[in-house]
């Protein structure tokens, strides 16, 4: 066997050295790369960055009234961010951002030395690109394996995205504490302004937060961290020494945190939330970042809150003793009669105490506030405002079924007027004006309970009806929203509009998801609606609603009080606005003997309407075709017989005028 020559030995040694020094490390690096990168997430998703965003709710005039979110984030472009904030973050987080290709080797070496000294991972040396990887593509665990994967993905991102795209991702993604994700949310949360409007002092403070948001919320630590950022900006040439000194002297003043959703229109916004979550799901509300444009008028909403607060405080002052465990509640709903736009909604005295919305969720007895529906039904059955009905005592036999014995039992019902008196023969108009219970019962008995229930449903009142004569006293269960909708038909010439809360919904890309138009329902003839409006004007002028005459403009309305005084109502309207008010206790406790709708509810209505109509022109109700005005004798309901008889103007549908001569019997019932 021939021994290798010295030259051959040298060649073999050289090849071996080359393998050890170059090839094997290269192979090892390739193998390691393949090992760590075979199951890495794809970076293509970053090109279509769609993080969870805040859904914003706006009033009709464009004021922000609510926000829904899991992560408080507003997506902005670099043009929407102050250049000084961008510079501050780059100086603090990655001063060679525009030079490296995803990883900064010097930072990694520096971090590695510190980690080896401590025998644990304390410093990462991550670039902005690597932080995006950690936030969006990998878990935040601290391990060498994860750091290797992070570096691989960072280099891939740098090849796939521009520096501006990477920076935009980072500035919208990072967490600043106090629930704020991204620079726009941080600017609003800490300073109450846009990221475009930050000062150097504010920008340098925010730039110091991502490293440890909770730690640097301490004011002394925050100032030290801000100085570090300012020094880094000075070293990078972003600012001059004079700017550093001025910014360092500026105070760090945070805005008072405001929960807009629970402060400006809480019951309205919560109603919106429940409707949309039911229709579209939770992700739509809390992640998609849609813009919800509503019908609410913010100034009217504030007036409603003020009126309700003063109203319940006035009640408590009259009542004397206050039980804080079950305080009196009130609700108010204001609606535009021709569109159904809800302009104001208060569902209780304090949303922080109770989120139950008594304007839409509570089913309460309307008492005499239901009477106009019965009277409107009677007008369409041949009654006129001049029809005569006798207000006199009545007794009805009531048939009941005993479930235990299986037999029928009989009792007697002797209804009373509120004042326990009787007026004798009175006109249809006066009976409603004075809210006479006995007359209303007689009318209901005459036209039929089933007919009135169908009529109420035609007006959109979908409550729980009692199929007996007690319906005349408003013993059905209705919501405030329902009864306001029904009254809007009187105001709008027989047409009611379904209550409308949302005008339009726009997604984050500017596409219209939902756009709503008024849904109008013709429920009454214009003539019936107008006559009912004039009768409800009489209630205000000379009846149970006299307190609201102080509005000093044409208005109509009706009080409502249940027999046990557990519910007090006032529903009224002008040509511009229909508003309903309810007052009562959640536990059905009586309000007190004298706490009628006129006393407890109508002052709230008046206060609200005076505020919202203060600068509005005075309007009169429109008289439709088919209405005739003639003089009648108010005692008989017929044309006057003698020239000196006292007369009043009354309105009638064409073809329903009273006969020229007064018969001996005036009584309809």
- Pair 296, 268: CB distance under 8 Å: yes
Measured distance CA(198)–CA(206) in Å, rounded? 10
Tokens 């109700």 label which residue? 621
Q: Which helix (H) or strand (E) holds 129?
A: helix 128-132
CA pair distance 266, 479, nearest whole angstrom:
19
Structure tokens at 28: 């090892």
94 contact partners, CB below 8 Å, separation of at least 6: 104, 127, 128
**Which residue in 487, 529, 497, 535 sits closest to 626, CA to CA?**
529
User: Distance between CA atoms of 164 and 381, rounded to whole angstroms?
Assistant: 75
* Catalytic residue positions, numbered: 93, 368
Q: For 538-556, give one letter per residue: b (16+ CB within 10 A) or e.
A: bbbeebbbebbeebebebb
Among the residues of 264-326, which ranges form H helices?
Answer: 266-280, 282-286, 298-319
Residues 6+ apart with CB under 8 A from 373: 452, 455, 456, 459, 461, 486
CA 260 to chain centre: 10
Task: Enumerate residues 6+ apart whose C-beta is below 8 A from 612.
Answer: 297, 299, 300, 303, 334, 343, 344, 577
Element (DSSP H or E) covering residue 373: helix 371-379
Phi, psi of 242 (to 5 degrees): -65, -40
């Amino acid at each position: 066997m021939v021994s290798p020559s010295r030259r051959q030995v040298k060649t073999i040694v050289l090849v071996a050295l080359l393998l050890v020094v170059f090839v094997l490390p290269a192979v090892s690096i390739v193998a390691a790369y393949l090992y760590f990168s075979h199951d890495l997430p794809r970076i293509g998703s970053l090109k279509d960055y769609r993080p969870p965003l805040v859904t914003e709710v706006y009033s009709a005039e464009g004021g922000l009234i609510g926000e829904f979110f899991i992560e408080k984030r507003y997506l902005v472009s670099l043009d929407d961010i102050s250049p000084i904030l961008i510079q501050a973050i780059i100086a603090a987080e990655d001063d060679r951002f525009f030079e490296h290709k995803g990883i900064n080797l010097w930072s990694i070496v520096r971090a590695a030395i510190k980690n080896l000294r401590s025998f644990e991972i304390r410093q990462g040396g991550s670039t902005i690109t690597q932080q995006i990887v950690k936030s969006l593509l990998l878990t935040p665990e601290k391990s060498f394996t994860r750091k290797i994967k992070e570096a691989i993905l960072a280099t891939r991102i740098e090849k796939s995205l521009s520096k501006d795209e990477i920076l935009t991702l980072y500035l919208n993604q990072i967490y600043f504490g106090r629930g704020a994700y991204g620079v726009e949310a941080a600017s609003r949360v800490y300073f109450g302004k846009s990221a475009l409007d930050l000062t150097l002092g504010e920008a340098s403070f925010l730039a110091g937060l991502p490293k440890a948001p909770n730690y640097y919320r301490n004011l002394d630590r925050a100032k030290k961290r801000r100085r570090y950022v300012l020094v880094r900006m000075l070293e990078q040439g972003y600012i001059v020494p004079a700017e550093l000194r001025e910014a360092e002297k500026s105070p760090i003043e945070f805005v008072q945190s405001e929960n807009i959703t629970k402060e400006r229109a809480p019951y309205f916004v919560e109603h919106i939330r429940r409707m949309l979550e039911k229709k579209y799901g939770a992700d739509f509300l809390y992640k998609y970042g849609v813009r919800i444009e509503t019908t609410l008028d913010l100034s009217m909403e504030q007036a409603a809150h003020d009126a309700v607060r003063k109203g319940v405080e006035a009640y408590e002052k009259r009542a004397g003793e206050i039980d804080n465990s079950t305080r009196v509640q009130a609700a108010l709903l204001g609606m535009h009669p021709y569109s159904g736009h809800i302009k104001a909604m208060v569902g209780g005295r304090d949303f922080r105490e109770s989120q139950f919305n008594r304007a839409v969720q509570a089913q309460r007895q309307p008492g005499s506030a239901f009477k106009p529906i019965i009277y409107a039904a009677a007008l369409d059955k041949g009654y006129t405002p001049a029809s005569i009905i006798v207000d006199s005592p009545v007794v009805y036999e009531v048939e009941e079924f005993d479930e235990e014995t299986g037999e029928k039992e009989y009792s007697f019902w002797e209804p009373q007027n509120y004042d326990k008196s009787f007026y004798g023969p009175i006109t249809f108009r006066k009976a409603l004006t004075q809210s006479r219970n006995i007359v209303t019962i007689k009318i209901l008995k005459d036209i039929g309970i089933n007919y009135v229930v169908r009529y109420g449903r035609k007006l959109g009142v979908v409550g729980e009806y009692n199929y007996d004569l007690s319906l005349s006293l408003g013993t059905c269960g209705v919501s405030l929203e329902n009864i306001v909708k029904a009254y809007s038909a009187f105001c709008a010439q027989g047409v009611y509009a379904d209550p409308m809360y949302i005008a339009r919904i726009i997604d984050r890309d500017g596409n219209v998801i939902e756009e709503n138009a008024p849904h109008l329902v013709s429920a009454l003839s214009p003539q019936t609606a107008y006559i009912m409006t004039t009768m409800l004007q009489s209630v205000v002028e000379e009846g149970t609603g006299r307190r609201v005459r102080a509005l000093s403009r044409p208005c109509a309305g009706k009080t409502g009080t249940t027999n046990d005084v557990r519910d007090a109502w006032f529903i009224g309207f002008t040509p511009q606005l229909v508003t309903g008010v309810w007052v009562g206790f959640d536990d059905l406790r009586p309000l007190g003997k004298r706490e009628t709708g006129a006393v407890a509810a109508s002052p709230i209505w008046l206060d609200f309407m005076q505020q919202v109509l203060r600068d509005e022109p005075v309007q009169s109700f429109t008289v439709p075709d088919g209405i005739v005005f003639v003089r009648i004798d108010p005692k008989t309901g017929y044309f006057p017989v003698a020239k000196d008889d006292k007369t009043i103007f009354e309105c009638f549908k064409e073809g329903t005028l009273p006969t020229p001569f007064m018969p001996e019997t005036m009584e309809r019932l």
